[in-house]
Amino acid sequence: MAGPLNVLFLCTGNAARSIMAEAILNHKAKGIFRAYSAGSRPSGTVRPEALGQLELAKISTEGLRSKSWDQFAAPDAPVMDFVFTVCDDAANEPCPYWPGHPMTAHWGVPDPAAAKGSAGEIERAFHDAFCILDRRIGLFLSLPFSTLGQMAMQKEIERIGEAPPLKGSGATPTGHTQPPA
């Protein structure tokens, strides 16, 4: 595996899930992967709750911004090795042509920005999204990239997106457990 490999996380608004995934992968796999994120209809802002989850996990938020996926389809854009959609809306939209024919998979995560309720319930939705992304990225990083063929790799990245979230684990973004509420 020649590195770093480029990974693009896509969502509609590029305000929470794809931003968190970009930051998590860049934090966990610096030098091996280079992660980016974008949206089909970017909101133009990053949700403060998403930034809060990253800061809680001691992951840098420097340089994170909401941007259009069009910039990654441009001729001078980095060539992607992997493209993952993290929301159902983006997965169902016609995507731009990605130079380099990257491997793609859908890693759907419930939208924390759509959460309703108290401040605590909304924070929990962002925490849950962070934990799902963190787990899937951990599974992705554990793949034996040097020994998997292209078809096997495609199956594995699709399987990661089908992995059920860890329900009721109580895991915090830092990997510590907290007592149930």
Looking at the structure of the chain, the number of domains it has is 1
One-letter amino acid for residue 145 of the chain: F
Radius of gyration over every alpha carbon of the chain, rounded to an integer in angstroms? 16
Q: Which residue has the higher pLDDT, 10 or 101?
A: 10
Q: What is the mean pLDDT of the chain?
A: 86
Domain membership of residue 136 (yes or no) is yes
The predicted model gives 104-125 an average pLDDT of 93
Specify the pairing of strand 33-39 against strand 103-106: unpaired
Domain membership of residue 167 (yes or no) is no
Domain membership of residue 178 (yes or no) is no
φ, ψ at 147 (rounded to 5°): -110, -10
Tell me if 48 sits within 8 A of 16, measured CB to CB. no
The pLDDT value recorded for residue 167 is 58
Running DSSP on this structure, what letter comes out for residue 38?
E
Instruction: Kindly report the number of other CB atoms within 10 A of residue 110's CB atom.
Output: 15
Domain membership of residue 41 (yes or no) is yes
Q: Which two tokens stand for residue 143?
A: 């793949």
Peptide bond into 4 cis (omega under 30): yes
Domain membership of residue 181 (yes or no) is no
- State the CATH number of the domain containing residue 45: 3.40.50.2300
pLDDT digits (tens, 9 = 90+) for 124-152: 999 999 999 999 999 999 999 889 899 99
What's the domain range around 79?
A: 5-162
φ, ψ at 9 (rounded to 5°): -100, 125
pLDDT(171) > 80:
no
Q: Which two tokens stand for residue 29?
A: 């796999």
pLDDT digits (tens, 9 = 90+) for 40-95: 899 999 999 999 999 999 999 999 999 999 898 888 889 999 999 998 765 556 66
Q: Which residues pair with 11 in a beta bridge?
A: 39
The pLDDT value recorded for residue 88 is 74
pTM of the model: 0.87
Domain membership of residue 173 (yes or no) is no
One-letter amino acid for residue 27 of the chain: H
What is the C-alpha to C-alpha distance for residues 104 and 7, in angstroms, rounded to an integer? 10
Domain membership of residue 142 (yes or no) is yes
The pLDDT value recorded for residue 179 is 32
